[in-house]
Chain A
C-alpha cells in the first residue's frame, strides 16, 4: 500500500512543482475560449431551451480541460522517465502492476479534476452556474479522467519520442474531444455525424457531465455512465495486461 502511496505522491509532486504550467496555464486557455466563443455566439446559438450559450459552454470546456490534462499527466510523465532513463527507479521496485497503474491513474484524475474545477471557478466570474446533480458530474469527471489517464499511460509507454506522443495527442485526442459536443449538442449535427458521435467515448463523458449541470442530456445519464464505466474497465484491463507483459518497459 505504501508503495502505491509513494508513487502517487511522487506523481502529484511532479506536476504540482510546476503547477504554473500544468494547472494554471490550461485554466487560462479555457477561460480564453470561453471569453471568445461566448462573446461571439451568445446571441446566435441556443442549444438547450432556457440555457444560455455561455452556460452551455462552461461544463463542456471544464470537462475538455479535465480530459486533456489527465492525458497529459500520464503520457508526459512516462515518456519523460523513459527518455531520461529514471523509469528504472520504479521498475526496480517490488511495486505490483496494479499499484503502478492505479498510482498513475489517480494522479492523472487529480490533475484533471484540479484543472476542471479551476475552469469552473473562473467561469463563476461571468455569473452563477447551476449544478443541480453534483454527484453525476463528479462520477463522469472521475471516470473521464481515468479513461484519459489510461490512454495517456498506453500512449506514454508506446511512444519512443516526444513527437510520436504529440502526434497521438493531435490526431487522436484533440479531434475526439472537439467532436464530442463541447461546443454544440450533437443533435444539431446531420444524421451521419450524429451516429458517428455515438461511437466516440468522449461524447458520453461530456454529455453525462453536462447532465450534472442542466439535468438535460442527449443520452440517459445512467446509460452514459455504463458506457463510460465499461470503457474505463476495458482500458484498465488492457493497461494492466501491457504492464504485466513488460511491453516497451522491460526489454
Chain B
C-alpha cells in the first residue's frame, strides 16, 4: 500500500540555521503518528514542506504517493493541515470561513459535513459569529475544522491543543480518534507527551533537524527498562548503599532509580536495615517524557 507520508533525505536551511538535516520518514496509511522534539527541532518545517508552504533544498516528500512539488494539486487534496500559528480571516464568520475553504477544494455543497464538524468541535453555537469575536481556543478549533472540510485522507496537526481547555482537548481527541478509526492517517506534534503516549502508536523524535528516534510507542517505553521508586523517609536521608541510584528529590520524595522492579524489595530492605522509616511509597513507570529527555539528552552529550 502507498505510504500516507514518504520523506527521504529532506534538507532545509534558513539562513544560518539547518532546520532539517537529512530526514527520512515513512508513515503508513491509518497510523496515528506523533512527531516530537524540542522547540526548533524542525517539526513545523517538515510539515510546511509536506504542505507546500516551504520548499526543500534537497530530498523529496510525497503525500499518498503524490510528489509535493511536482504533483502539488493531488498532494494538497490528500492533506489537511492545522497550522501551529493561530491565524484567521477577520472578514468572515465561522461558517463563511468553512464554506470558502470547502470551495477552494472544489466542494460547493458541503454544509452537511460542515455541520458535523462544527458539532464535534463544539462550535455550532458560534457558527455565525465573526472570527474576530472568538476566543483563542475557539479560533484554534476553527483551524482544525478548516483542515477537515475536504475529508483529507492524511491529517497533520501542529500542536492542536495549545491553548485549548481540558474538556475540549478530550472532545477534540475523541473526534480525531474517530477519524483515525474511519481510516484517516493522523500525524500530530505536541509538547504534552502524555497525549502522544496515549494516542499514538508510533513516534518520531526530531532534534536539530534530524530523526533521533523512530519506533512504536511501546518499544520506546520498553527500551526504558526500570522503575523509579519514590519514598518519603523519616529521617529524610538515603543510606550509603542507595546513594548511587538517587535522582533529584521530587515533591519531597526521594527518587531511587532501579533497573528492574524486582529490586524494589532489596531497596526497601536496605532502608529498614538502617532503621529508616518509610512513610510513603510510589512506583513510577517510565513514560514518553522520560524517553524524550533521555534521547534528547544523549544527543546533547554526544554533540
Contacts and interface: CB of A to CB of B under 8 A. Distances in A.
Chains A and B belong together in one complex = yes
Interface stretch (B82-90, B233-241, B261-269): B82-90
Interface string A87-123: 0111111111000000000000000000000000000
Contact of B74 (A2, A3, A91, A94): A94
Interface residues of B, number: 32
B178 interface: no
For chain A, what secondary structure do more than half of its interface residues adopt (helix, strand, loop), or is it mixed? Answer: helix
A223 interface: no
Interface in B85-114: 85, 87-92, 100-108
Interface stretch (A10-18, A156-164, A204-212): A10-18
B111 to A, nearest CB: 14
B166 interface: no
Interface in A1-53: 1-3, 5-7, 9-10, 13-14, 17
A3 B52 contact: no
Nearest to B147: A92
Given A13-B91, A84-B90, A86-B87, A3 B105 contact: yes
A92 B53 CA distance: 7
A207 to B, nearest CB: 37
Contacts, number: 78
A86 B105 contact: no
B136 to A, nearest CB: 14
Residue of B14, B51, B91, B108 with most chain A CB atoms under a 10 A cut-off: B91
B202 to A, nearest CB: 25
Contact of A85 (B85, B100, B104, B146): B85
A197 B106 CA distance: 45
Contacts of A251: 14, 48, 53-55
B146 A89 contact: yes
Given A250-B55, A251-B55, A6 B103 contact: yes
B89 A89 contact: yes
Contacts of A9: 100, 103
Residue of B88, B102, B106 with most chain A CB atoms under a 10 A cut-off: B106
Contacts of A94: 72-74, 76-77, 104-106
A81 interface: yes
Nearest to A249: B53
A63 to B, nearest CB: 28
B81 interface: yes
A246 interface: yes
A93 B105 contact: yes
B155 to A, nearest CB: 12
30 contacts: A2-B107, A3-B103, A3-B105, A3-B106, A6-B103, A6-B104, A7-B103, A9-B103, A13-B91, A84-B87, A84-B88, A84-B89, A84-B90, A89-B100, A89-B104, A89-B146, A90-B104, A92-B52, A92-B53, A92-B76, A92-B79, A93-B76, A94-B104, A94-B106, A95-B104, A96-B73, A250-B53, A250-B55, A251-B54, A251-B55
Interface of A: 1-3, 5-7, 9-10, 13-14, 17, 81, 84-86, 88-96, 246, 250-251
Instruction: Please provide the 5 A-B residue pairs with the shortest distance between their CB atoms, ordered closest to farther.
Output: A6-B103, A85-B87, A93-B104, A94-B73, A94-B76
